[in-house]
């Protein structure tokens, strides 16, 4: 009987060793990484340019001197091209502005002008402040990249508005030379900064 008891005990021991070990958890980890580059773009469409042509029409009054309503005419175009929605992925975007005088290729002599200077203004909306004014006169060097002062507003509407003022010839008494074309421009560059 003792043999049977030993055999039964031995069998039970073998069964205990042969049964599977207690279940263990296994953990797998998948790390996900990515980056966002500093960039600025025009919405909608994610392009990199905005603008238009402002046709001021006749630049001279009936007496030949510079028209006095050019700033009003410039602003009256409104909307597309003068207003834009620009967004940047960075917290410290910059703005640079270059106002280039409106000129004609026709030579000017004493008492006449083939150049009209002006001041370009760019009103910028950030997430905390609206209509921050940045400007550049065509009589001075371009405004170099300058911090805007915060993230650009991203509320679905335009956050950049371009206007112009202070149109003038070199001398108030100058008459504009007759020419088919006078051209100038305003270049606005919004950069991601750092």
Residue 17 pLDDT: 52
- HSE at residue 115, side-chain half, CA atoms within 13 A, is 13
Angle at 162 between CA 160 and CA 168, to 5 degrees: 160
Separation between Cα atoms, residue 47 and residue 45, nearest integer Å: 6
pLDDT at 173 over 60: yes
Mean pLDDT confidence for 40-59:
90
Separation between Cα atoms, residue 116 and residue 70, nearest integer Å: 11
pLDDT digits (tens, 9 = 90+) for 58-101: 999 999 999 999 999 998 886 677 999 999 999 999 999 999 99
| Arithmetic mean of pLDDT over the chain | 89
pLDDT at 150 over 90: yes
Mean pLDDT confidence for 20-45:
90
Separation between Cα atoms, residue 117 and residue 174, nearest integer Å: 13
Range in 17-26, 105-114, 158-167 with the lowest mean pLDDT: 17-26
Binning the chain into helix, strand and coil, the percentages to the nearest 5 are 10, 35, 50
Mean pLDDT confidence for 178-189:
94
pLDDT at 13 over 60: no
Residues 133 and 122 sit within 8 Å (Cβ to Cβ):
yes
- As a whole number of Å, the CA-based R_g of the chain is 36
User: Is the pTM value of this prediction over 0.85?
Assistant: no
Mean pLDDT confidence for 38-47:
89
pLDDT over 70 percentage in the chain: 88
Mean pLDDT confidence for 16-27:
72
Separation between Cα atoms, residue 115 and residue 112, nearest integer Å: 9
């Amino acid at each position: 009987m003792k043999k049977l008891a030993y055999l039964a005990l031995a069998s039970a021991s073998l069964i205990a060793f042969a049964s599977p070990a207690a279940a263990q958890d296994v953990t797998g980890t998948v790390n996900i990484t990515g980056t966002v580059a500093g960039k600025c773009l025009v919405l909608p469409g994610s392009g990199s340019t905005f603008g238009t042509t402002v046709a001021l029409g006749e630049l001279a009054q009936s007496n030949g001197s510079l028209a006095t309503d050019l700033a009003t005419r410039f602003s009256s175009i409104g909307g597309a091209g003068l207003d834009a929605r620009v967004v940047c992925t960075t917290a410290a975007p910059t703005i640079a502005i270059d106002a280039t005088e409106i000129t004609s290729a026709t030579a000017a002599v004493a008492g006449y002008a083939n150049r009209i200077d002006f001041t370009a203004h760019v009103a910028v909306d950030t997430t905390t402040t609206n209509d921050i004014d940045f400007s550049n006169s065509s009589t001075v060097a371009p405004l170099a990249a300058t911090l805007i002062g915060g993230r650009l507003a991203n509320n679905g509407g335009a956050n950049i508005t371009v206007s112009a003022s202070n149109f003038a010839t070199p001398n108030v008494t100058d008459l504009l030379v007759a020419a088919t074309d006078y051209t100038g421009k305003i270049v606005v560059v919004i950069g991601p900064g750092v």
